[in-house]
Structure formats: C-alpha cells, structure tokens
C-alpha cells in the first residue's frame, strides 16, 4: 500500500491532483473577478477591454513562461522587466534609426534576450552568485545599456499604417474590419511546446530535478551547471519574445523603463502554483496566473482605482500568493 498523507476527498481526487488544487482555485478567482469587474463597470464589458487584457497578457505570459523555468530551478530572473524594454529599444532603434530591415530588428531583439540570459545563467551556475542578486545586477546593466544605445531617446516601432508596420499585426490581426487577438494562439502554441519541453524532455526533467534537490541531481551524474544555465537562457529568449509582443501592442518604449514588470510576471507564475523554492511549477499555471494579473491591471482602472491603487492591490495579491507558497512548502495545503 502506498502511504498517503492526510487530505480531504477534494485534494486527494486524482483529477484534482493532476491539475493542481491551486490552479483550480485560481480559475474560480478569475471567474469571480470577471463577474465583479463586469458588474461594476460597463466599460469592462466592451470588446476593446478584451483586446487590452490580451495586449497585456501576451508580454506577461511570455515573460512568465521564461521565468517559470528559473523559478523551477529554485532561482529567479529579475532582469526580465527592464530587459524587455531594453531589447525592444535596441530592435526598434535598428529599424527606425538605422533603417535596417524589420526582420533584423526582430532577430536583434530576441538575440539580446538570449545574450543576457546566457550571461545570467553563467553568473549563477558557474559564478555561484545568488540568482536574485545576479539578475538584479544585470537588470541595472540592461537598463543603462538600453538608454546608452538609443542615445537616451524613446523609440517608436513602425506604426501599423507604415509599409513596414506589419509587426503590429502579429498579435492583433484585422479581419474584415474587426481586430482579432490572434496573438493568443501564438502564446498558446509556445506554452504547449514549452510545457512538453519541461515535462517530457531530459533538459526539462533535469531543470525540475535541480530545483528539487540540486546535490542529488549532481550525484546522479547530471551536469547541473549546464541545465541551470539553460533555464536562464530560456528566460532570456522569452524576454526577447515578450519585447516583440510589447512593442507590437504598445509601439513605443522609453529608455530605462520596464522596472516592476518582472514582478507582475513572477507574481503570475507564483499565483499559478510555481514554487519560489523550486522543484515544482507548470506552464499552464503561469498562463492562468498572468491572465489574472492582466485582468487586474486592466480592470482596476475601470472601477476607478488608478495606477497607485493598482500597485498596492497587486502587491497585496503577491503577498497572498507567496504566503500560499510558504504554506505549501510546510505541507499544509
């Protein structure tokens, strides 16, 4: 007989266990929020609101997918918020100021993410820095770099009316005069691919194993440093992709911006059930979590709570999410 820990019928239900208690609860919270916002604000019921929620979801989801890998190793990547701005600045700068082809700008954006991610990974895995500090430092560096490269000027990606403005339509297509948030499909495809990568391939398995017990993983003959680095590389690449999503939705970036966005993405991942202490986490949870964050971000102003209130509420939500994570680690949930 396999011994089981005490738990009620709900949490021991095989289906519930397969999906995860937290995710189910978050979905209900999500529905509750949708109902509350819809009831409180007529603006929230508009189709355009769905489009704004989606614009916000895309970049947060991409950041979230990436950072989930770092969180699962037991680390974190704080450079993703400012990183996203920096890479989008660099890509946009090349296109609009240096007249490079759009595709070069896109590739440069993603490459910047890859580069910074690799540096983060090496500092953490080879240099032995605490992930929190290492990525805090690179966060400072990319913030400065973005401003220096663009000569401290804002960058605006080509507008949708411009002949090279097709990047604006990657995530929001115009079909018969109606704007369709097609980006959700791309994010979903990426999420599925990364979920398979996490759960069904060796690198993914080792990333989980490292977060669960690094020393045991090392003693099992796994090259721990390589896979730890990989987690940050993934985070970097997805930050690059998020930069594309952000510039597609919002078009212009100011130098030195993006700070604080990393917390929305990390918060989304934690709300979705990824543990701050490593070893467990799912891509699907992160998607649900960042969707909740996006709804908060879009919905709160519509019920009259402006930016400052938003920050307070999102901060409180994160405290609750992290506290649940702490409880889970004590095996109370």
Partner 1 sequence: MGDVILTMKGIDKSFPGVHALDHVDLEVRKGEVHALMGENGAGKSTLMKVLTGIYSKDSGTITYEGREVEFTNPREAQDAGIVIVHQELNMMGHLTVAQNIFIGREIMKGKLIDDKKMNEEAGKLFEQLGIDIDPKETMSRLTVGKQQMCEIAKAISHEAKVIIFDEPSAALTEAEIEELFKIIRDLRDKQLGIVYISHRMDEIKVITDRVTVMRDGGYVGTLITKDSTKDDIINMMVGRVIYEDPKTESAVPEDAPVVLKVEHLNAGRMVRDVSFELRKGEILGFSGLMGAGRTETARALFGADPKESGDVYVNGTKVEIKTPQDAVKCGIGYLSEDRKRYGIVVAKTIAENSTMASLENFMKGAFIDKKKENQAAQEYVDALKTKTPGVDQLVVNLSGGNQQKVVIAKWLVRNCDILIFDEPTRGIDVGAKSEIYQLMNELVAQGKSIIMISSEMTEILRMSDRIVVMCEGRKTGELDIAEATQERIMHAATLRD
From the list 11, 97, 162, 220, which residue makes contact with partner 1 (rule: CB under 8 A)? 220
Q: Does 2 interact with partner 1 (rule: CB under 8 A)?
A: yes
Residue 64: which of 288, 323, 318, 300 has the closest Cα?
A: 288
Residue among 98 and 200 whose Cβ is closer to partner 1: 200
Instruction: For residues 104 and 145, give the distance between their C-alpha atoms in angstroms, rounded to a whole number.
Output: 19
From the list 128, 215, 306, 332, which residue makes contact with partner 1 (rule: CB under 8 A)? 215
Shortest Å, Cβ 212 to partner 1: 4
Contact stretch for partner 1 (CB under 8 A) within 138-146, 208-216, 264-272, 315-323? 208-216
Could you tell me which residues come within 8 angstroms of residue 106 by beta carbon, excluding any fewer than 6 positions away? 91, 167, 244
Residue among 125 and 239 whose Cβ is closer to partner 1: 125
DSSP state of 259: T
Instruction: For residues 87 and 106, give the distance between their C-alpha atoms in angstroms, rounded to a whole number.
Output: 9
Element (H, E) at 109: helix 102-125
Contact stretch for partner 1 (CB under 8 A) within 173-181, 187-195, 204-212, 317-325? 204-212
Going residue by residue from 266 to 295, which x/- string records binding to partner 1, judged by CB under 8 A?
-------------xx---------------
Q: Does 3 interact with partner 1 (rule: CB under 8 A)?
A: yes
> How many chain residues touch partner 1 (CB under 8 A)?
24
Q: Does 213 interact with partner 1 (rule: CB under 8 A)?
A: yes
Residue 264: which of 242, 248, 232 has the closest Cα?
A: 242
Residue among 73 and 96 whose Cβ is closer to partner 1: 73
Give, rounded to a whole angstrom, the gap between the first and last alpha carbons of the chain.
23
Q: Does 31 interact with partner 1 (rule: CB under 8 A)?
A: no
DSSP state of 129: -
Q: Does 5 interact with partner 1 (rule: CB under 8 A)?
A: yes
Contact 100, 94 (CB under 8 A): yes
Contact 278, 212 (CB under 8 A): yes
List residues near partner 1 by CB under 8 A. Answer: 1-5, 196, 200-202, 205, 208-209, 211-213, 215-217, 219-222, 279-280
């Amino acid at each position: 007989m396999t011994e089981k820990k005490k738990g009620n019928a709900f949490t021991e239900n095989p289906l519930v266990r397969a999906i995860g208690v937290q995710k189910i609860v978050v979905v209900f919270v999500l529905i509750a929020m949708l109902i509350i916002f819809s009831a409180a604000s007529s603006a929230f019921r508009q189709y355009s609101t769905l489009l704004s929620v989606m614009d916000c979801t895309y970049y947060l989801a991409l950041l979230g997918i990436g950072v989930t890998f770092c969180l699962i190793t037991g680390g974190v990547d704080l450079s993703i918020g400012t990183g996203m701005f920096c890479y989008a600045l660099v890509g946009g700068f090349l296109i609009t100021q240096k007249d490079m082809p759009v595709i070069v700008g896109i590739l440069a954006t993603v490459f910047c993410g890859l580069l910074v991610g690799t540096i983060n990974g090496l500092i953490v895995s080879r240099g032995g820095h605490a992930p929190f500090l290492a990525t805090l430092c690179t966060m400072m560096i990319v913030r400065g770099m973005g401003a220096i490269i663009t000569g401290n000027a804002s960058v605006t990606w080509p507008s949708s009316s411009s002949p090279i403005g097709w990047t604006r339509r990657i995530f929001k297509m115009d079909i018969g005069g109606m704007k369709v948030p097609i980006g959700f499909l791309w994010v979903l495809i990426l999420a599925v691919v990364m979920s398979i990568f996490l759960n069904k391939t060796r690198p993914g398995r080792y990333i989980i194993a490292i977060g669960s017990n690094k020393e045991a993983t090392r003693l099992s003959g796994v090259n721990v440093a390589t896979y730890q680095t990989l987690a940050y590389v993934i985070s970097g690449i997805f930050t690059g992709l998020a930069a594309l999503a952000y510039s597609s939705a919002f078009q212009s970036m100011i130098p030195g911006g993006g700070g604080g966005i990393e917390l929305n993405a990390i918060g989304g991942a934690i709300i979705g059930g990824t543990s701050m202490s490593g070893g467990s986490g799912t891509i699907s949870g992160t998607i649900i979590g960042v969707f909740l964050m996006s709804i908060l971000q879009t919905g709160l102003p519509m019920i009259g709570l402006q930016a400052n209130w938003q920050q307070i509420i999102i901060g409180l939500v994160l405290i609750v999410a992290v506290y649940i994570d702490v409880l889970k680690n004590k095996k109370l949930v």
